[in-house]
Amino acid sequence: MYHFLTSGKLSSGEAVDFGYVEAPDLEWSGRLLTFLAHKAPDWRFHLERAFVDSLDGLRTRFYIATVHEELVSQVMISDARGCGILSHVFTAPQWRRRNAYRQLMAIQMEHCAASGIKILTLSTGFNTHPYWIYHSFGFRSIAPGSGAMMWKVSPESDRELLQPSATVTTRALRWEDWPVLNVSAVQPVMPSEPLPRFSTMGVSGQGNLEGSFISFQRRIQAFDTEFQRVQVTEHGAVGGWCFFSPDPGWFNRVWRADICALPAFTEICSQSPDSMSWPEAPIWTVTTSDKGKAQWLHTLGFSQRTVLKGWLERKGYPMDAEVWERPFVSKSTFLNK
C-alpha cells in the first residue's frame, strides 16, 4: 500500500511527492520491479518475494519520490526488531542532480526513526559521493576505510541490543533475522574471537551481510532449508548461528557449516539445550584455534582432522586453520547433549 508523506520541490523547479510503498503490494510491484530492473538476480530474488509474501516478520518499505506519478528516486528499507538495512538507492538518470534523493533520504530517515528503527546498516564505496551523502545523515564507517556503514539513533543502540542475555532461543533462520544478524556481523572482531564468522557467506571477520545473506538464501532454496539456525537473545539480538550450505567443491555431496557466536554469547550459545536438525551428509567446518570453540564442536559430534598452516588471517596476520568434520548422521541431535 502506498502512503503519502509530504511534498517538496526539486532544484529544477518541479513539484515532487514523497511517500512509501509497504510490501507485499501487487499493485506497485510491476512499477518498482521495472524501476529496479538493473538489479542482479540475487537481489531480484528478494525483491520479487517481498512483493508477494510477508517474509516472516521482515518489514520491507520502498520510499519513493514521484513527479506527476512518475517514479524519480527510491530507497528500500528492510527492518525487524529495531534494526534495518538501507539498500537499492536509485534515481532515474534523467532526474539526477536535482536534489531528489537527498530530500527523499531526509524524509526516509525521519520516518524510520519515528517507526522505531534504532540501527541502520548499508554498504557503499568508501569516500565516494554516495558515501558522503550517507555520512551527512549520521552514518559512519564500521572500520577505517570501510564502505560498510552504520547509523544509530543513539550511541548505545547496538550495545543495548547486544547486551548480555541469561538465555538464548535456538530456532530456524527467518527473513526477519537479516537486518539483526547484520548488526552482529558489523561488530569489531575481538582479539581472541575464533574466525571465520560466516564462511558460508564469504565473510571472515567484521563485515556486511547485506548482499551475501540474500545470495545465501537464494543458494539454499534448491536444498532443504530446515537446518539453518539462529540463537536469539532475550533482547532480540542474534548471538549465535549455525548455518549450512552444500559445498560445490565437493559436488554438493558435502556441506560446509558455520557454528559461531559473538564472544559475549559463546558460553550461553554452546550450552543451549535446544534441538536442531542436521543435513544427511558429511559436514565440515573450519576455525582458528580456540579451546571453547573446540569443546563446542566436540559436543556437536565434530572431530578435528587437520591443521592448515597460515590459511586464515586476522587483521593481515596469518592464522592456522583447523578443519573439523562431522560424519554423516541421519537423525536429529541436540545442540548440547
Domain extents in the chain: 2-117, 162-334
Please choose, from the candidates 37, 2, 32, 34, the residue with its C-alpha nearest in 3D space to the C-alpha of residue 17: 2
pLDDT lower than 50: segments of the chain: 331-337
Which ranges constitute the DSSP H helices of the chain?
Answer: 26-35, 41-52, 100-114, 129-136, 157-161, 177-185, 212-220, 266-270, 291-299
pLDDT of residue 330: 60
pLDDT of residue 315: 85
pLDDT of residue 334: 39
Summarised one tens digit per residue, pLDDT across range 232-271 is: 999 999 999 999 999 999 999 999 999 999 999 999 999 8
Domains 2-117 and 162-334 share a fold: yes
Q: At 294, is the secondary structure helix, strand, or coil? A: helix
Cα separation of 174 and 103, whole Å? 33
Check: CATH 3.40.630.30 for 162-334? yes
Contact 303, 271 (CB under 8 A): no
pLDDT of residue 296: 94
CATH number of 2-117: 3.40.630.30
pLDDT of residue 277: 81
Task: Tell me the residue ranges of DSSP E strands in 144-276.
Answer: 148-152, 168-172, 229-233, 238-246, 255-261, 275-276
Which grid coordinates are listed for 12? 529544477
CA dihedral sign of residues 328, 248, 297, 218: negative
Summarised one tens digit per residue, pLDDT across range 160-201 is: 999 999 999 999 999 999 999 999 999 999 998 999 999 999
